[in-house]
């Protein structure tokens, strides 16, 4: 049985390509999951801030690194992002 050097080179390149594809897919999944987690955390912080301000009759409250202000019956203004958010139950 004679081993061909070209076949071993092709096999090695294919293995390297499959490894690269696996690593890049894993990185994409992890980064996308982290983005979703941060979006859900921001939404939860806004609802928590609204609840605390409403129950304790406060005008503004600080949650993590954001300062929220009560602007309406179901609205919260984020001073860091300079945006008003509607609170839905």
Distance of alpha carbon 29 from alpha carbon 46, whole angstroms: 26
Distance of alpha carbon 74 from alpha carbon 69, whole angstroms: 11
Could you tell me the sign of the dihedral formed by the alpha carbons of 81, 84, 86, 87, in that order? positive
Residue 5 has pLDDT above 70, yes or no: no
Per-residue model confidence as pLDDT tens digits over 10-52: 888 999 999 999 999 999 998 888 889 999 999 999 999 999 9
Report CA-CA distances (Å) from 9 to 14, 22, 46: 9, 20, 56
pTM for this predicted structure: 0.67
Distance of alpha carbon 5 from alpha carbon 48, whole angstroms: 65
* Displacement of CA 51 from its chain's centroid (Å): 23
Q: What is the pLDDT of residue 8?
A: 83
Q: What is the pLDDT of residue 84?
A: 93
């Amino acid at each position: 049985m004679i081993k061909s050097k070209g076949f071993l080179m092709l096999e090695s390149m294919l293995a390297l390509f499959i490894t690269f594809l696996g690593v890049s897919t894993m990185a994409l999944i992890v980064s996308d999951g982290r983005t979703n987690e941060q979006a859900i955390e921001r939404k939860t912080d806004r609802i928590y801030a609204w609840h605390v301000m409403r129950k304790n009759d406060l005008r503004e409250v600080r949650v993590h690194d954001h300062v929220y202000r009560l602007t309406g019956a179901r609205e919260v203004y984020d001073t860091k992002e300079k945006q008003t958010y509607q609170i839905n139950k």
